[in-house]
Structure formats: C-alpha cells, structure tokens
Structure 1
Amino acid sequence: MGEETTVALSVGTIAGSETDGIRRFLGVPYAAAPFGENRFRPPQPVASWSGIRPAVAFGPTAPQSPYPAPMSSLLGSVQIPGEDILTLNVWAPADAEAAPVVVWIHGGAFERGTAALSGYDGTSFAADGIVYVSVNYRLGSEGFSVLKDAPLNLGLRDVAAALQWVHAEIAAFGGDPGRITLMGESAGGSLVAALLARDDTRPLVSGAIIQSAPLEAKPASVAGKVTGALAKRLKVPATREGFARRRPDELVEARRQQSAGSSPLGRTPGFHLALDPDSLPRSPHEVLAEIATPLLIGTNTDEYRLWFSPQALARVSELRVLIARLALRIRHRAISAYRAAWPAALPGELLGQIATDLLLRAPASRLAQRRQAPTYFYEFIWESPIRDLRAAHAVELGFVFDGLRSGSWHSLVGDEAPQHLADEMHQAWVAFIHERTPGWLPYQHGRAVRLFGMRSVTITQRRTAAMDLLPER
C-alpha cells in the first residue's frame, strides 16, 4: 500500500499513498454523484468535507455491461458498485514541481470502460516526470442520451468538469496547470477532440493526443436514434422523466439486448456526441483544423479486426462488398484502388480496411492536411498473433502505457510482444507531453507518418490513393 501522503484541495484534504517515489490518489471526486435529483443533469459541485478523506481505492464505475463474447476474451472490464462515479485518479512524482500534466480519457464506444482498469495505471508516466490523471465519466444512456428536456452530452460535460478541476487543483500535486495535455483512445479520443472544440475548455489545454478516434459530432436527430429506439423498447417517452423512471441497470440491460450481435458496420444505432449549442456547437473535425494546439494523432492498420473475428470476416462475400459500396456511396474506382493496395485481402478484409479508413484514418488524415499547427501522425503496424488481430483497435495501448504484461493488455498482445517497441512508443508520448514533439517530422512535411512496428520508420503516408477517394461522411 505504501506510506500515507496527503494533499489539501479546495474542498478538503485527501490521503493517498506513496511507493518508490510516486504518489497515488484514487477515487477523488470532481463532481457530485449524478443520481437522485442530479440524474440527467449537468455535473454538480462536490460538497466540501472536514477531516481527511481516504483516496486509496478506485471510485465506483459508471453503469455498464461487460463486453459480449467473443470480445470479452480480449477486453476486460471492472465493475465497482456505488453512485459516486464522477471521480478521477492522480499519479505524481513525489518531487514534482511545476511538472507537465496528462489527463487520460478512456474509450469504450461511449458505453463501456473505466479508469480503474489495470492497464491505465499511471505509474509509467509518473516515473517519467509527469503528473498523470485518469477520469471516469457517465456512459451509455446516463451520459449520452438525447432527451427532449435534458441537457445533451452529459458525459462530455463530465470530462469538461474534470478538466476544469485539474486546472484548478493540480498544482497541489506538483503539476503545472499551464502544461496540460489531453490524451484519449477511441471514444476517449473523441472526447479529447470535443474538449478542444469548446471555447471554454480549449484554453486549458496546451497539447492533445488522439488515438483511433472518430472526430465528427452528429446532429441531435442522428445521435438520438439510439435513445429513441431504447425508449420504444422500454415503453417510456424519450424524456428525462421517462428515462428516470427506469433504474440505471434497467437502461443498461435494455441497451445490451438492443445491441446484441451488432457491429460498427451494422444497423443498430450507437451512442455519439451530439451537436448542441450549449455543450458542443461545432463538430470537432471542423474546429481542430483551425486551432493552434499541438496534436499527436494516429490510427492502427487493422482497426476492424477487433470488431470482427476471422470467422466473421471469412463469411463476407463479394456481394456484401458491393452492397456496402452502394450503401456508403463509394465509387467503383475507390474499390479498385483498395484491391490494388491490398491484393491478397479476402472480401471481408477489404471491407474491413475500407471501414477502418472511413471511420478513423481518412478523417484523421484530412484533419492533419488542413491544420497549420504542429501535427504529428502515426500508424501502429505491429501485428498481434492473438486471434489474428494484427494491428487491431486498442492493441497499441499496452505499448503506449509500457504495460505489455498488464492483465488488461496481455490478452491483446500475448507473451512475445516486443518490449523495445513499448519503450519507443511510451517515450514518444512522454516527449510530446514534455516538449510538444514526439521525435519525428510533422505531417505537414510531405504527409510524414511514423510507422510503429518491429522496426519503426518515418515515411510519406502510404495507401493514400485509395483513402483519398473515399467520400467525406
């Protein structure tokens, strides 16, 4: 457990632990519990306390269901009961003084995940002189419903409140509030982009890292499709009162039933950030092209292979590719370019590569092309042997966190993952947090991209002929 260590915050004193020169504070509330009268409301202030509040255990997790099979064998989940879910965790060097800060926002398709996963432990960053903060926020129906009489984007409002907390309180841990980097993967990266798109939170950020994340917010009518479908399933109106009649676990179970068997290419609606005059007036992909914040952004080569098993990919026919091409309005010329880029790909693999580019790589590349500010692009190419994942979605996380042996990431990378690549990627992220450059040329230099693999190299972005023919969504 380590020795006790305390920090005085504006609302009270917390007691964490110190081990091997790193201080750790877990389950620190940044907003009040979002249940009871606070349910479906913006995050409310934390009540102050007297005495010393323990901060040695992770706070409760947001209501959610575990990943379904077969993904459950690859991505673990942690469920901690309780209502005080709006908490964060801090790892800090014991001698930190005006140290750079990184705020980690976890992914999970806006409906799963928690900062309590062992793979998100901040020790590796604190050991490199960084004050590391990880954040929990509302998920699923509690955080991203589109209800007629409730605020939109409650999960985004939560992470905005957490960022404001960090800016106000992090100096007490030895962090510099003027050197905050946001970092997130998948839905967490989308939330990073959204915080940069907001005029109130962007000034609090000096740099951002976005890994494998959609960058577009949807109109409320589109983002609300999942809410409308759930309301019909629950037989309640899509209003705050209607959804508040149902317990959080009932909303989670209804969503589990609704999404059973779905995929990113399926027709079952999912949760999205919604365009909203109050919480997100413009889509992040538009705003990020204009701002001066330094950005490290990238994707993995085979993102789709986390979502589709080899057996599912093998069942995809040429007819399915044709139907998808017509539905997505992809020109035949683009399909031909993809076949040239991936000559050995099965129809399912070809469709998966197109989906990867449509959802993630093409939007990130277009954003990088439009930006004038420093923009560093990467592609993670190391191929995991587990379930033929290759360079699938989330496989890079164990390398970024230098945690290949962590239970959270071992299931994705196996026993033979190269430690030298984890050393390289982690140090690149650390360098960006410290110095605003990860060690390779910005994308503006001839579409420069860092390929992270057994032998990493910086090259001109590859497979652009096919990607550039895809329609903008």
Structure 2
Amino acid sequence: MAVERFGRRTLLLGAGALALTAACSSGKSGSDETHPDTVSTAYGPVRGERRDTGIAFLGIPFAQPPVGDLRFAAPEPPVPWVETRDCTRYGPTAQIKQLAEVTAIPEPSIPGDDILTANVFTPNPDKNAKLPVLVWIHGGGFVAGSPASPWYDGAAFNRDGVVLVSVGYRLGIEGFLHLDDAPDNRGVLDWIAALTWVRDNVAAFGGDPAKVTIAGQSAGGGAVWALMNTPSAKGLFRAGISESGALTQPNDRATAQAVSELFTKRTGMPATAAALRDVSKVALQDMEDKLRAPDPDGSAATMLGLAPFADGTLIPATSADVLKSGADQDIPLMIGFTAHEFNAASLSGAQPEITDATLPAALGALGFAPTTGDAFRLAYPGLTANQLAGQAQSDAVIRMPSYRAAEMRAGRDQPTWLYEFTWTSNAPKFQGQSFHCLDVPFAFDLLKARGVTAVAGDNPPQALADAVHRAWVAFVSNTDPGTAWPRYTLDRRETMIWSDAPHVQSDPFAAQRPIWLR
C-alpha cells in the first residue's frame, strides 16, 4: 500500500563538514523562482550548491523520518513544504557507527532522524535535458554504510552527462529484522520509495525517468539483485550494476525467522515493533551488536542475516530459487567482482591461521565440500592453505554467486556483462591485493577523493579509472558498455578484466567452474 501511495502522489503536494548537521532545512530564499540553483520537486522547492561539473542537491527527503509510529512501518511520502529547503549539506544517516573501526570506504555517520533522503548530482537541472540517471545504493552489509561518502560524489558522472542520485535507507534491525507486527523488508520498501521519488521528480533535475539504472557495491549490489526480483520495483529502472554484490540474498524466510528468534534469545526483547518502537538508537545498536556477536553457542549464523529475505509478498523467491528457476527480470545487468575480495582478512592475523590439516573444516564452514581442497589448489596454484581459505571466503560470499548469476542469465540469453577487477593496491596494508571496495573510486573516477590513497596506494592508474568509468557511463546511457566489452555468453564466456591493461578474456574462470557450479 505504501508503494501505491507514493506512485499516486500529485503536485499538491569529507568528514569534517559532512558531520556538522542534518542539512536539508527549510528557509526563505527571496527569489527562489528565478534562482539558478533551485528546483521545484513534487513536495516543494529545494536549493543546491553549484560546483564545477554541475549542482549538488543534498539531503532531499523522499519519505518522512521513520520515527514514532513510522519507525518500523512502510515509508510514508514527505510532508510538503512551501519555503525553499537549503539542500547544500548531507542529511542524517541511518548508520550511527561504522561496520568496523576502520573501513576501506570513508563512511561518515551524521546524527538525526531524517534519514530517508536522496542526494542528487546533476550537470543541468533542465526538465528538457532528459539525461540518463544512475541511482546508487550504498553497501555496508545491510547494517552499516553511508550515502554521504566522498567516494559516492557525482562530479565525474555529471561531467559526462549523467545525473547521479545516492539514497539512504533503514539498516540492520530497523530495516531488515523480521518483526511479527511490522512489514518485512522495510529497507527494500525504502529503496522502492526512493526509486518512486526518482521516477516522479528526476525530470526536474534534468534526468529522464525512463533511463534509470540502479547500482550498488557489496550490500548495495545485493540490493540491485533483490530489486530485480521484486515485482513492486518493476518499471522503476531499466538496467542494473552489481559491483561485488551480496547475491546470496534474498535469504529464505526460515533464516529471517531464526535471526529474529536469536535476537530475542540474546537480548531478552520481543522481536516486535511495539516492544522496540521507543528504544533509543544507541540502545538498539547495542542490541544489534549482541545479535551479530561471534557465535560461541552454535546458534544460527548472523553474517548477512539482517538482509532482504523472501517474505512471500514483497519478495517472492530466495536468491537460490531465482538461480534455479531463472525468475529474475529480463533487464540488462553488469556484474562482477574483485580478484581477492576478502583474502586480506586471512592474512591480517585477526583470524586463526588455516593449515593443510584444518583446510577441509574451513571449506566446510563456508559451504564447500571438505574434499574441494584439491579443486581449490588447482584453481589457485601456489597459494598456502591459509591463502586458499581466504580465497574460498571471497568465492563463497561474492565471486561464486555473481558468476552463477552471469551463467544463469547467459543461458537464457539475457543481456549480461561480466568483469573481474584485478588491479592490485600498492598501499602497505593491502599490497598485492585487489580487495573488496578497491574498484569503487575507479568506477566513480574519484581517485583524488579522501581516503583513496590510504587503500590504493600512491598514484593509482588514472587510465584504468578512465576505462572503468567510461564503461559505466556507456552502460547507464545506452544499457551497453560498448563494443570493446562483449556480452557474456555460454559459448565464449567473454569477461572484461580490469587491470593495468584492460582486456577481454574468454572463459577466465574455467578452473573455478567445477567448484562454483557444483
């Protein structure tokens, strides 16, 4: 019902500065109607900030703040305003603390309640411009992350004629914990509300609502996959990009219920909206930390347990069922992963070292048959048992599910483009690794953004960023990355390899296929 209400709404209706305040506030402008940086949305006028490549409108509400009775409800449309809102600073974030003490992507947390907002970066706020639109859904394991990251700035996309919209959404318990007295998949409902807002408002910012591509990395890539399999989202976008996506989601309903039961077991609180509605954000975060703590008692695993799941209504099928049946929407999809994703975790010393003797158990814990150790050694020759365990984790969580999706879609002749990002960092902490998140500033062409050299090292190759970003712009503009990158087909399995010298390789995962398609 909430989605329909959005659809029928009418016109009646860098850390430092980033952390200052909730930005999109109402205030008089005096000459708003002729102000060159002011746009009229369906809910009221907003004023942005002019930049070298366009105008940034930050923190525009696409739904009411999810507080009080709305905290665990489906999103409701914004309350209309008359005076021009000053939208020159990012709004509050659902994240109140980062996923880890140190994250690869700078992810500022901004306090406040108005978290369901969109940031629009446009080169030309002319309703007749009809520019292609990229809607970005941030990652963070569905429990963290921030749309206010400097790595998600739309400057380069604006330079190349694309409107970029980044969106916030409810995370963790508020967004994804199954509650007996609340709608399921509230975070997914937030994504749909944001896309509905884009459909109804992006033309005023120069975008074409018929040319919307959704994209995301990690959990954001999983969001793209979930939305492709959500009937209510049909027609709100025409293409998708899943960058190192969490494609093992949507989970099944049993997993969601097990996580809900574990929440009550570990916190002593009923898994109901009535019980949690008035719990403070800090206290709710503490409960979430208890839920997601390491699992000494053999309870249900909670890694990515707070995530989209097949509730039978909004999301009809699990990711596993979609892979078997081929039920995803027939839309163009660019999909891929980095070479090493989570391998660095096994080398950090934070986890017990895996030996030849313990490798079978480590593989079994990841869902592989313990006997696949020999197959992994053939696929990744020269790696130690500890390194193989790290590679197996990368494969299980990201690489294998993405490859399966590409194979499944290619078998039905659905337009699919597969890539592997293999360029490795020269930063001391990540040297020799093409790790999870490393490719994001290349796609956004933001190698000078804050925090990039800390993880990529000095002088990351601008030529590679040019190539990756150019392919993204082409795909968003034309639903095809260009003639230099062929579609993925089962007869050739041509895959773009993003390296110092980008090239297309035929069947680069032949050695992994016996493991990945088991």
Q: How does 1:239-318 map to 2 (within 5 A)?
A: 239-260=272-293, 267-270=301-304, 271-284=306-319, 286=322, 290-305=328-343, 307-312=345-350, 315-318=353-356
8 Å CA contact 1:288, 1:367 repeated in 2: no
Amino acid paired to 2:162: I
CA distance in 1, matches of 2:63, 2:344: 34
User: Residue 477 of structure 2 corresponds to which residue in structure 1?
Assistant: 434
- Name the CA shift for 1:449/1:209 in 2 (closer, same or farther; >3 Å): same
- Name the CA shift for 1:268/1:367 in 2 (closer, same or farther; >3 Å): closer
CA offsets, 1:420-448, max 9 Å, x none? 11111111111111122213011115111
- Name the CA shift for 1:288/1:399 in 2 (closer, same or farther; >3 Å): farther
User: Residue 33 of structure 1 corresponds to which residue in structure 2?
Assistant: 65
Amino acid paired to 2:118: L
- Name the CA shift for 1:367/1:59 in 2 (closer, same or farther; >3 Å): same
User: Residue 455 of structure 1 corresponds to which residue in structure 2?
Assistant: 501
8 Å CA contact 1:147, 1:239 repeated in 2: yes
- Name the CA shift for 1:224/1:75 in 2 (closer, same or farther; >3 Å): farther
Q: How does 1:56-455 map to 2 (within 5 A)?
A: 56-69=88-101, 72=102, 74-94=104-124, 97-215=129-247, 216-260=249-293, 267-270=301-304, 271-284=306-319, 286=322, 290-305=328-343, 307-312=345-350, 315-328=353-366, 330-331=368-369, 334-371=372-409, 372-386=413-427, 387-388=429-430, 390-439=433-482, 440-444=485-489, 446-455=492-501
User: Residue 18 of structure 1 corresponds to which residue in structure 2?
Assistant: 50
Amino acid paired to 1:388: F
CA distance in 2, matches of 1:50, 1:326: 59
Q: Secondary structure at the match of 1:101?
A: strand
8 Å CA contact 1:226, 1:269 repeated in 2: no
8 Å CA contact 1:33, 1:84 repeated in 2: yes
8 Å CA contact 1:196, 1:288 repeated in 2: no
Amino acid paired to 2:277: A
8 Å CA contact 1:32, 1:45 repeated in 2: yes
Give the Å deviation of 1:469.
Answer: 2.6
CA distance in 2, matches of 1:349, 1:92: 44
CA offsets, 1:443-463, max 9 Å, x none? 115111101011111012323
CA distance in 1, matches of 2:39, 2:186: 29
CA distance in 1, matches of 2:173, 2:436: 24
- Larger mean CA deviation between 311-320 and 156-165 belongs to 311-320
Q: Secondary structure at the match of 2:331?
A: coil
Tell me the percent identity.
34
CA distance in 1, matches of 2:285, 2:269: 15
RMSD of aligned residue pairs (Cα, Å): 2.3
CA offsets, 1:127-177, max 9 Å, x none? 100111000000111111111111111111101100011011111111111
CA offsets, 1:286-332, max 9 Å, x none? 17665321110001110113544432467222233111334455346
Give the Å deviation of 1:258.
Answer: 4.5
Q: Secondary structure at the match of 2:49?
A: strand
8 Å CA contact 1:208, 1:296 repeated in 2: yes
CA offsets, 1:221-244, max 9 Å, x none? 212433333323322111111222
- Name the CA shift for 1:274/1:189 in 2 (closer, same or farther; >3 Å): same
Give the Å deviation of 1:21.
Answer: 4.7
- Name the CA shift for 1:257/1:380 in 2 (closer, same or farther; >3 Å): same
CA distance in 1, matches of 2:111, 2:363: 44
CA distance in 1, matches of 2:374, 2:180: 45
CA distance in 1, matches of 2:132, 2:319: 25
**Structure 2-normalised TM-score?**
0.85
CA distance in 2, matches of 1:106, 1:328: 25
Give the Å deviation of 1:18.
Answer: 1.7
8 Å CA contact 2:361, 2:370 repeated in 1: no
Q: Secondary structure at the match of 1:46?
A: coil
CA distance in 1, matches of 2:460, 2:250: 35
User: Which runs of 5 or more structure 1 residues have no equivalent in the other structure?
Assistant: none
8 Å CA contact 1:67, 1:75 repeated in 2: no
CA distance in 2, matches of 1:35, 1:394: 32
User: Residue 53 of structure 1 corresponds to which residue in structure 2?
Assistant: 85
Say how many residue pairs are matched: 467
